[in-house]
Amino acid sequence: YALIFGHFGLPEMGIGGAALASVIAEISATVFYIIYTRRKIDLEKYGFTKITFKWSVIKRVLDISIYMMIQYMLSIITWMMFFVFIENYLGERPLAITNIIRSLYTILTLPANALSSAVNTLVSNTIGANKKGQVLDLIKRTSILSLFSMLIIVLLVAIMPSVFLHVYTNDAALISETISPLYVLLATLPIYSVGTIAFSGLSGTGNTRTALAFEIVAICFYFGYSWLIIAHLQLSVNWAWTTELVYWGLLLISSVVYLRSKKWMKKVI
């Protein structure tokens, strides 16, 4: 806020201020993690009194993490293409609406994202404790918690959408045009709340290659559907946001089917 609009004696930098603020935030987080780890964690217990590179360990970590890196990269590229399609084929006004929806989307999904990160770790810990039989029940209980949390959020936003949209703009016409696509997003969020838990649970089993494969398939459908709806048919921004329903619906179905098949139990790390 200060760097974008030039408050508190700081320069008015506009979009450049947002970029600089993001870099400062990342640096601050890194410094915090380092200080917290050194002060609160028993480094000797975990063998970190002396930092050494063990290439065998690095290779084992990369064997799992490389697929997650590619997965996140593809997700970012796909989001970028979605916004490119909106701007090039639907225009500036739909792009403004999409930016508001995207920002609200990020905020509304915070509880589900937090739970998905937690379940990823908990699944790994459960498997590490040799209790693979409890993994599905853990994912199921977390999914229910995530779903009910999301339903409460959806209900609140659905009752008073203008109140939430006023945070982003005072333009009454823009708020009015944003309400319909917002309802499309709200219809997707319950599926998102369960899908992100199931998908994170799958990643937590260590089967990151399988998770990447599911991600690629979902992205291909997402990209094709986005092109059809936005670029080819040039339908409204309401239809554009149904892409999230396609994406998370596919991830949810594929993750649940794979987890229930119990093929992940054969994974050895």
Residue 169: per-residue pLDDT: 85
What length is written for the chain? Answer: 269
Residue 63 is predicted with a pLDDT of: 82
Helix, strand, coil % in the chain, rounded to nearest 5: 80, 0, 20
d(CA 4, CA 19): 9
pLDDT of residue 128: 87
For residue 21, the model assigns a pLDDT of 93
- C-alpha distances (whole Å) from 110 to each of 11, 105, 238, 242 are 31, 9, 23, 20
Q: What is the DSSP string of 36-97?
A: HHHHHS-TTTTT-SS----HHHHHHHHHHHHHHHHHHHHHHHHHHHHHHHIIIII-HHHHHH
* pTM, 2 dp: 0.84
**Could you report the per-residue pLDDT of 127-171, keeping only the tens digit for each?**
988 898 999 999 999 999 999 999 999 999 999 999 999 988 888
Per-residue confidence (pLDDT) for residue 179, from 0 to 100: 94
Residue 228: the pLDDT is: 94
Residue 147 is inside which H or E element, if any? Answer: helix 135-159
Spans in the chain with pLDDT lower than 50: none
Which residue, chain included where needed, has tokens 């593809």?
74
**Spatial contact of 229 and 82, defined as CB atoms under 8 Å apart:** no
State both tokens at 40. 């609160």
Q: Quick one: pLDDT at residue 79?
A: 87
Which pLDDT score is estimated for 38?
A: 86
- Supply the DSSP string of 202-227, one letter for each residue: HHHTT-HHHHHHHHHHHHHHHHHHHI
Digit-coded pLDDT (tens) for 34-46: 999 888 888 887 7
- Residue 76: per-residue pLDDT: 87
Q: What pLDDT does residue 269 have?
A: 64
pLDDT at 68: 84
